Structure 1
């Protein structure tokens, strides 16, 4: 288990740096027992199973400051914060099945992880096994953080934690999230003054449409209203 570099990276990257980021370290030999450990996905962001959150000594050695615990509701009695006096926690109760809407819950996770990274902290994201549920959230996070396609984001995470395998429902939502985050980036990059003019013009157009509808409605009624 490597110590997080916790460096400040600027995204999005391009060309060779981006390719290297996605491919990850090429000298790592994956071993089966590594699925019980956590791995660094990008600087300051760790992904792993619940097992990785149970040792205070290990967490301190990794410099962990925040822990995002994503658990199935049925696991709440066992998968829970172990050291609330040492770390800042966010717990998300979900259902680990293909029908669970992870996109709806993602903003909470995104804000929590972003806050940790902005404060130069290190955040561990885990579910029970670190195979499907928590990786889905991490893939969406690095997709947005690094401004990647869903395929590149998935490969980036898989190239560091080889055992991840989001279920079919989560994978579908990961694909859908690409267009969602790209739309938000486009809106954020739109000049505010120009955006206000567009909104104002759209409002005038809508008002004109409503007035036209009212006029048509009135003229349709007028013959009836004029009957003596």
Structure 2
């Protein structure tokens, strides 16, 4: 968990923003299906149902260690959940959770549905899951994935234990799927279509803030 006395003004502003869009929806073409958008945020975003509906978010990846936050029966009828019980500690074991989380995200995005990955602050745990997804699904290095997510949500700061797990994950993904690395031309077009957009700050909806 990041402390307020250790952040820049840009990071503080990002922390006060419930969520940011990391991946835009994929383009609709004659040769491929549209894909959903991927968002990263905090518990504030999860609690703002109007905000979630406004951005057509139907799937939530919750990376939390809060037994007092049950999955509500009413909400479960609207949202699909993937819950990861994980503390933001350097000793916490992140790696066993990555494959299932990435599978959940990819299945939803592949159907054109939007996903929010959140933890308490949207800084360490949820950012690590999004970085892991980019490493596996988009053949990115840890450094490239971190840099991309950092440009979208300036306050991200995976703890050192998570960074070590993600670098191990990067090595494992590279060994398993070396052929997934796109050619420069394909990569350039794909990066333009999905990754090249202005960072989008998504504020609390008026009804929630009033």
Give the TM-score normalised by the residue count of structure 1. Answer: 0.65
Distance 1:84 1:146, change over 3 A: same
Distance 1:152 1:95, change over 3 A: same
Cα offsets for 1:72-117 (capped at 9, x unmatched): 2xx2203755822211111111232111221111111011101110
Q: Does the CA contact (< 8 Å) of 1:46 and 1:125 recur in 2?
A: yes
Q: 1:121 and 1:173 mapped to 2: Cα distance?
A: 28
Q: 1:80 and 1:98 mapped to 2: Cα distance?
A: 26
Equivalent residue, structure 1, for 2:202: none
Taking the TM superposition and a 5 Å limit, the aligned residue runs for 1:31-70 are 32-35=12-15, 36-43=17-24, 44-70=37-63
Equivalent residue, structure 2, for 1:127: 119
Q: Does the CA contact (< 8 Å) of 2:10 and 2:155 recur in 1?
A: no
Structure 1 residue 187, shift from structure 2 partner: 8.0
Structure 1 residue 31, shift from structure 2 partner: 6.9
Structure 1 residue 65, shift from structure 2 partner: 1.1
Question: SS where residue 109 of structure 1 aligns?
Answer: helix
Equivalent residue, structure 1, for 2:132: 140
Greater Cα radius of gyration, structure 1 or 2: 1
1:108 to 85, 100, 111: 100
Gaps of 5+ in 2: 1-8, 25-36, 182-210
CA RMSD of aligned residues (A): 2.2
1:99 to 91, 105, 126: 91
Distance 1:79 1:135, change over 3 A: farther
Question: How many equivalent pairs are there?
Answer: 159
Q: 1:164 and 1:80 mapped to 2: Cα distance?
A: 26
Q: 1:60 and 1:33 mapped to 2: Cα distance?
A: 23
Question: SS where residue 173 of structure 2 aligns?
Answer: helix
Cα offsets for 1:19-58 (capped at 9, x unmatched): xxxxxxxxxx947343241111112110000110111111
**Greater helix fraction, Structure 1 or Structure 2:** 1
Q: 2:135 and 2:70 mapped to 1: Cα distance?
A: 27
- Structure of greater relative contact order (alpha carbons < 8 Å, 6+ residues apart): 2
Question: SS where residue 129 of structure 1 aligns?
Answer: coil
Gaps of 5+ in 1: 1-28, 190-228
